[in-house]
């Protein structure tokens, strides 16, 4: 398989189903941001972190390919007129979302209660988590915009929402594991 096809040389790309759209289309921006998020998660996984977190991150990376496939599919080409699926595109399940919730709850059990917002940082690995969380939020914003224009399964948006929560709690857990300072944001009082 060749890496370059030259079919995008004029600024368009093909969706699953064959429809060609401009490379700046909201659908492309949505799944491109999910791809960017997946790369950031790979960076976190490459750090010296616990094996359970690494295993969970691999699962998340696989699910993000599913999210990308959902977002990259032309809905008009995905379903035949008789209602049957034309393209074999996987979906995000409720169980995928529940796995993130279970991991969030598990990590939270060993963390001190949050009483303030925390400033991102404290350790490079923690900072990578916060960057991934921000990219995840951007992916979610773009996907919600796409959802208004061209609806897709609600579980896809739910997964992105829960994933940003997971990444925030993972950042707190890694701060704890790495004995990094977690600096609280204390709003300045007006004089």
pLDDT at 161 (0 to 100): 98
In the numeric block, the tokens 């096809």 are attached to 5
pLDDT at 183 (0 to 100): 83
pLDDT at 171 (0 to 100): 97
Q: Count the Cβ atoms, other than its own, within 10 Å of residue 117.
A: 11
Q: Mind listing the pLDDT tens digit for each residue in 129-150?
A: 999 999 999 999 999 999 999 9
Q: How confident is the model at residue 87 (pLDDT cuts 50, 70, 90)?
A: low
pLDDT of residue 85 exceeding 80 = no
Greater pLDDT, 8 or 178: 178
| CB contact at 8 A, 160 and 142 | no
Report how far residue 183's alpha carbon sits from residue 180's, in angstroms, rounded to the nearest whole number: 9
pLDDT of residue 112 exceeding 80 = yes
Q: Mind listing the pLDDT tens digit for each residue in 19-73?
A: 777 578 899 899 999 999 999 999 999 999 999 999 999 999 999 999 999 999 8
Domains and CATH numbers, the chain: 13-107+115-177 (1.20.1200.10)
Average pLDDT over residues 151-165: 96
Q: Mind listing the pLDDT tens digit for each residue in 17-34?
A: 767 775 788 998 999 999
Mean of per-residue pLDDT scores for the chain: 89
């Amino acid at each position: 398989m060749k890496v370059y096809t030259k079919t995008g040389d004029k600024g368009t790309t093909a969706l699953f189903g064959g429809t060609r759209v401009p490379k700046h289309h909201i659908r492309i921006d949505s799944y491109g941001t999910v791809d960017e998020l997946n790369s950031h998660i790979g960076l976190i996984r490459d750090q010296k972190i616990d094996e359970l977190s690494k295993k969970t991150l691999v699962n998340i990376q696989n699910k993000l390919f599913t999210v990308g496939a959902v977002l990259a599919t032309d809905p008009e080409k995905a379903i035949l007129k008789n209602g049957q699926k034309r393209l074999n595109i996987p979906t995000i399940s409720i169980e995928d979302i529940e796995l993130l919730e279970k991991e969030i709850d598990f990590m939270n059990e060993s963390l001190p209660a949050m009483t303030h917002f925390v400033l991102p940082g404290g350790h490079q690995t923690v900072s990578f988590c916060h960057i991934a969380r921000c990219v995840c939020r951007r992916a979610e914003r773009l996907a919600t915009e796409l959802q208004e224009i061209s609806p897709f399964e609600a579980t896809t948006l739910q997964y992105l929402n829960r994933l940003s929560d997971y990444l925030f709690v993972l950042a707190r857990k890694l701060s704890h594991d790495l004995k990094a300072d977690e600096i609280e944001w204390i709003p300045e009082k007006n004089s």
